[in-house]
Chain A
């Protein structure tokens, strides 16, 4: 049981380049999330998807787009990368949001550097 799988693990981009971060979960969770982690700032929500076919903005959505391809997969796209998007990106999933007892399950992250 792999849980939440993120690819790639590392990526270096030049300013203005685009890329898509991939995320897949095998726990049959309805909800999926994208967070970024920056030193001293904890984890900040970029976008989330409460269920297949729906997506909503989080705290820091500017410069990103997402696609909930199916129940398993939730991708994050940077259309024109900027140095301010240098960060570690985490994908997470959970049971339906109505469950208090459902923790967030995180992937191992993608470390992105934009030069």
Chain B
């Protein structure tokens, strides 16, 4: 089955700096890559996603890039703010069914004011 590895497990940045979280996947048939943000005591919430026919997608301060050849994708957060502090999960799937989502192990991002 699919295996998704996520790095780093923790990341601390100064407010205003950029943060990058990287994920690799094992199944070359995977074609959907969402990112979720989980705040303390809450469930994960989708922040951005990308399909395999697109190399990059941006939404204000966040962007995701995908390299299908290398089988990795990354989340980029620019101009970080304290409210960006949370746990971020990447995921991958190859089917249209959401049951096929395989999650990474998560990255705890701490933005220091």
Contacts and interface: CB of A to CB of B under 8 A. Distances in A.
Contacts of B51: 100
A74 interface: no
A100 B32 contact: yes
B105 A40 contact: yes
Contacts of B41: 108-109
B97 interface: yes
A43 interface: yes
B16 to A, nearest CB: 29
Contact residues on B (Cβ < 8 Å of other chain), bracket: 20 to 34
Contact of B43 (A4, A42, A58, A100): A4
Contacts, number: 64
B44 A58 contact: no
A98 B96 contact: yes
B44 A90 contact: yes
B43 A109 contact: yes
A41 B43 contact: no
Contact of B98 (A33, A41, A44, A59): A33
Interface of B: 1, 4, 6, 9, 32, 34, 36, 41-46, 49, 51, 89, 95-99, 101, 103-106
Interface of A: 4, 31, 33, 40-45, 48, 50, 56, 58-59, 90, 92, 94, 97-100, 102-104, 106-109
Given A45-B99, A45-B101, A109-B43, 8 more contacts: A40-B9, A40-B106, A41-B105, A42-B105, A43-B103, A50-B99, A98-B96, A103-B49
